[in-house]
Structure 1
Amino acid sequence: MSPRRSYDQYCSAARALDAVGDRWTLLIVRELLAGPRRYTDLHADLPGVSTDVLASRLKDMERDGLTTRRRMPPPGAVYVYELTGRGRELLPVLQALGEWGAPLLGERRPTDAVRAHWFALPLLRALEGFGEGVVQVRLDEGEFYVRAGAVAGEQPVYGEGSAPSAPDARLALDTETCTALCRGDLTLAEAIRTHRVAVSGDSPLSKALREP
């Protein structure tokens, strides 16, 4: 394993970039915030990354204490990668970076890949203040769920597909509306009030979302 490159600056920002500033590292963190992932799953949801680069980044992240690799018990018996506590602490960093970059989204380019769950972290921020609970989200590209009010603890803050248990609320919206929410052009309350987001469920969280 090659030695980690360093800016050699006695500065906390420089030290942080020593660890996570390489291309693809923070996007790997984004994927692992959904919980343990197999190498093949990571590669599928990081279009454009080569197998060599992905393997190298995962080794570096394990060395730096951001991820661990473990073997799942039978019948799966496959290796998965997951974030350590130190790695999960990057959640607010990614959210802040996403908020800063939201105005740069603009129109989707023909070459742009998209996955439904890439909208999970911006939606977590949009859900702040409504309460806690699991929210199932349906977009044109697919479904995912988020844990509203969650912090980067032991449980994943979001996941692909259906929630493992009955969600507290369900949101249905199109990608255009979701992009507007991510860019800050529209608040979640406004989107619900104007019927651009449909809310279903009887929990306190779903009722809070439906309040004018």
Structure 2
Amino acid sequence: MPRRSYDHYCTVSRALDIVGDRWNLLVVRELCSGPRRYSDLFADLPGISTDVLAARLKDLERDGILTKRRTGPRAGTALYELTESGAALRPVLNSLSVWGAGQLGEQRPTDAVRAHWFALPLGHAVAAHLPTGTATIRIGDTTFHYVITETGLTHHDGPAVAPDLDLRLDLATAGEIATGARTLADVLAEADPGQSVA
């Protein structure tokens, strides 16, 4: 199927030609912290059909946003990961996350939620507390970490080695920090003294 285009000679239009289809930026969000298998992407994108996911992955690969590589025994498992061009969308997702925090409101009964979806908005709070260094965040069974440098912040799967901040949150607290209902400083001040925080 040929790609739909706005046919506008405009930088925003061209960008939306590539990532503006429904689900595209959410696929990018899922790949921001590291490579994913198809089954991981399908599990963490509730509501997407297998046909739509396959089509979005194919389109994003064609457009140079992600790449697929084979791994495992006999190269039987496909891993999807962002290309340099795809990783350059992180600031776009960060900006959408900041704007979206004010739109989030209360969780509706029909809303799916995954702990790692809080990685983007929590990153802003962590970077404000820790201008440079590494931070591990644990929300339930989900663990991810941030690397904060003078040039920006990235998040990755799993814990950091010897993090400057190691924090365990429940999902409700993560949501409160993400929406600005509570500050990270307040959460750290209330943390159990046995918890590893900086």
Q: How has the CA–CA distance of structure 1 residues 71 and 107 changed in structure 2, closer, same or farther, with 3 Å as cutoff?
A: same
Alpha-carbon RMSD across the aligned residues, in angstroms, is 2.4
Answer whether contact 2:146 2:156 (CA < 8 A) is retained: yes
Specify every segment of 5 or more residues in structure 1 that has no aligned partner in the other structure, as ranges. 208-212
Q: Distance in 2 between matches of 1:98 and 1:176?
A: 17
**Structure 1 residues 24-33 or 70-79, which shifts more?**
70-79
Counterparts in 2 of 1:60 and 1:171: CA distance versus 1, 3 Å? same
Structure 1 CA distance for aligned equivalents of residues 74 and 160 of structure 2: 19
Deviations 1:70-96 (A, max 9, x none): 111447741111100000011111111
The structure in which a higher percent of residues are strand is 2
Contact 1:172–1:197 (CA<8 Å) still a contact in 2?
A: no
Supply the distance in 1 between the matched residues of 2:193 and 2:19 (Cα, whole angstroms). 37
**Residue 183 (1) aligns with residue 179 (2):** yes
Partner in structure 2 of residue 104 of structure 1: 103
What is the alpha-carbon distance in structure 2 between the residues aligned to residue 40 and residue 8 of structure 1? 34
TM-score (norm 2): 0.88
Paired amino acid for 2:155: V
Cα–Cα, structure 1 residues 103 and 35, in superposed 2: closer, same or farther, change >3 Å? same
Instruction: Please give the residue correspondences for 1:55-74 in structure 2 after superposition, counting only pairs within 5 Å.
Output: 55-74=54-73
Give the letter for the 2:182 counterpart: L
Tell me, in whole angstroms, the C-alpha distance in 2 between the residues paired with 1:188 and 1:89.
Answer: 27
Q: Deviations over 1:49-106 (max 9, x none)?
A: 0000000000100111100111114477411111000000111111111111112221
Q: Is the aligned partner of 1:4 residue 2:3?
A: yes
Q: Does 1:174 align with 2:170?
A: yes
Report the residue type matching 2:112 in the other structure.
A
Which residue does the alignment assign to 1:53?
A: 52
Which piece of structure 1 moves more, 69-78 or 178-187?
A: 69-78
CA contact (8 A) 1:169 1:200 kept: no
* Letter aligned with residue 78 of structure 2: Y
**CA distance in structure 1 between the partners assigned to 2:186 and 2:169 by the alignment:** 13
2:148 aligns to what? 149
How many pairs align?
196
Unaligned stretches of 5+ residues in structure 2: none
Percent of aligned pairs with the same amino acid? 50
Secondary structure, aligned partner of 1:5? coil
Q: CA deviation at 1:166?
A: 4.5
Q: Would the aligned equivalents of 2:67 and 2:80 in 1 still touch at CA under 8 Å? A: yes
1:111-159 CA-to-partner distances (Å, cap 9, x unmatched) read: 11111111111111111141334322222x4322121316789xx7221
Residues 91 and 82 from structure 1, CA distance in 2 versus in 1: closer, same or farther, beyond 3 angstroms? same
Distance change >3 Å, CA 165–CA 33, structure 1 → 2: same
**Which aligned pairs between 1:156-171 and structure 2 lie closer than 5 A?**
157-159=155-157, 162-163=158-159, 165-171=161-167
Equivalent residue, structure 2, for 1:20 = 19
Counterpart code for 1:94: L
When the two structures are superposed, what TM-score results if normalisation uses the length of structure 1?
0.82
